[in-house]
């Protein structure tokens, strides 16, 4: 499980959802675009919930680990993950630097 930190609030989500949201936010930022997404989350009691996020170039989103528990085992957000991938492609051609295959990182003595 992970927490998405957004607008001063921490929201618990599955690992895959957190990764997809932060990646989509990076793609939107690279393309100067903004979007709203309905994110599958868990409430304080561990019950499935949904939260709508407005993300774009000015979004300040971070992700941090949450306590591990059985909620991760019941996580199945395949449709949400596929939809964010499709939206990422539709957002535009620019990709975040970490996805640019033409950018090489520093030589770390390997």
- pLDDT for res 94: 74
CA angle 89, 92, 96 (to 5 degrees): 85
Query: What angle (nearest 5°) sits at the alpha carbon of residue 73, between those of residues 68 and 74?
Result: 125
pTM score of the predicted model: 0.78
What stretch of H or E contains 19?
A: helix 15-30
pLDDT per residue, tens digit, the chain (110 aa), is 899 999 899 999 999 999 999 999 999 999 999 999 999 998 888 889 999 999 988 889 999 998 876 665 555 688 888 888 888 888 887 767 666 555 444 444 44
């Amino acid at each position: 499980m992970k927490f998405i930190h957004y607008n001063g609030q921490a929201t618990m989500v599955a690992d895959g959802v957190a990764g997809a949201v932060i990646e989509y936010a990076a793609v939107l930022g690279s393309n100067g675009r903004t979007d709203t997404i309905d994110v599958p989350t868990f409430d304080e009691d561990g019950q499935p919930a949904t939260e709508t996020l407005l993300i774009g170039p000015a979004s300040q989103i971070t992700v941090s680990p949450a306590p591990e528990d059985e909620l991760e085992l019941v996580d199945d957000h395949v449709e949400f993950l596929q939809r964010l991938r499709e939206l990422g492609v539709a957002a535009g051609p620019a990709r975040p630097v970490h996805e640019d295959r033409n950018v090489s990182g520093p030589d770390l003595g390997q």
